[in-house]
Structure 1
Amino acid sequence: MKIAMANDHAGRALKDEIKALLESWGHEVVDFGTHTDDPADLPDFVYPAAMAVARGEVDRGIFVDGVGYGSAMIANKVSGVYAAVCQDSFCAELARSHSDTNVLCLGGKIIGSAIALEIVRVWMETEWLGRDEPKYARRVQKVVDINNAQLVAVK
């Protein structure tokens, strides 16, 4: 799988750990940065990574900032991106199985490395239930319909 990664200075160290883990599992990582701990503006990195997800240039995205919410707010502004902030593996499982999220957002100041890596493992391995259970497909389709309606309404 091809994964877009992005971060700000607060998420750089955790992003590097996650990146190494994903690569050890055989995934290709496209790293949109930042690559330093110098103060950085999150939209400069998350927006291009989210666009890569939306355009289908990558399969999924994992974004890391201080608490995760900044990344999610930016990513969810991009049509076709469905981002969730997860602070434990239960939330990661539900974000994939029920909501078919394509972007995972994590807070490098909120959770430690061991928990974050477990969240990533669960999120990456969990399949969406909507293929077999119509209620999840129906619910996700309603979110997609809202996304598409906004594209028309804004014009």
Structure 2
Amino acid sequence: MIALGCDHGGYELKQEIIKYLEENNLPFKDFGCYDNSSVDYPIYARKVTDAITHGECDKGILICGTGIGISIAANKVPGIRAALCTDCFCAEATRLHNDANILCMGGRVVGPGLAVKITDTFLNTPFSNDERHIRRINLIENRDPSEN
């Protein structure tokens, strides 16, 4: 299950992502926001991160105007690896190397066609499970680098 969240700056782009998910029969839960009214992005970042850290969802997609604020808010939560991606290369690399569990995008930065391609790449790229990447993720999480 994929958790979705956005602020007013990401609302329109989130609607495009929802179309993609529905067309591909990918299950998701929309945590808001639900229109263009001004809201505070940390609220929606927390709803999505909670869904992931509590096991309700496996991955998430967060969108604000630039993607920056919402990614900062998400990355404050232990166990979350949120990556701001503006192209497919970054989306692929963050899944392969960082095992990112949240894709962040900017509704005022990335157009709908590219956003769908980034989302597809993020959702369909597995983690490499390479020892050096596991070691680095453990360091990010403040765990012993030898843990798997």
The TM-score normalised by the length of structure 2 is: 0.93
Which residue pairs with 2:69 in the alignment? 70
1:39 aligns with 2:38: yes
Please list every run of 5 or more consecutive structure 2 residues that lacks an aligned counterpart in the other structure.
144-148
User: What are the superposed Cα offsets for residues 56-100 of structure 1, whole Å, 9 maximum, x if unpaired?
Assistant: 110100001100011111111111111000000000000100000
Report matched runs for 1:66-145 at 5 Å.
Answer: 66-130=65-129, 133-145=130-142
Distance 1:95 1:39 in 2: 30
Is the partner of 2:37 in helix, strand or coil? coil
Q: Which amino acid aligns with 1:42?
A: Y
- Cα distance in structure 2, aligned partners of 1:46 and 1:33: 10
Structure (1/2) with the larger helix percentage? 1
Contact 1:72 1:84 in 2 (8 A): yes
Q: Which runs of 4+ in 1 moved over 4 A?
A: none
Give distance in 2, aligned partners of 1:54 and 1:69: 21
Matched to 2:5, the amino acid is A
d(CA) in 2 for partners of 1:145, 1:56: 21
Which letter maps to 2:50? Answer: M
In the alignment, is the contact (CA less than 8 A) between 1:61 and 1:104 conserved in 2?
Answer: yes
Name the structure 1 match of 2:6.
7
- Mean alpha-carbon deviation: is it higher for 21-30 or for 94-103? 21-30
Count of residues in Structure 1 that have an aligned counterpart in Structure 2: 143
Structure 1 distance, partners of 2:86, 2:63, is: 12
AA matched with 1:144: E
Structure 1 unmatched ranges of 5 or more: 147-155
Question: Over aligned residue pairs, what C-alpha RMSD do you find?
Answer: 1.0
Percentage of pairs with the same residue: 36
Give the deviation of 1:20 after TM superposition: 1.6
**8 Å CA contact 2:78, 2:141 repeated in 1:** no
Q: Is the 8 A contact 1:32 1:46 kept in 2?
A: no
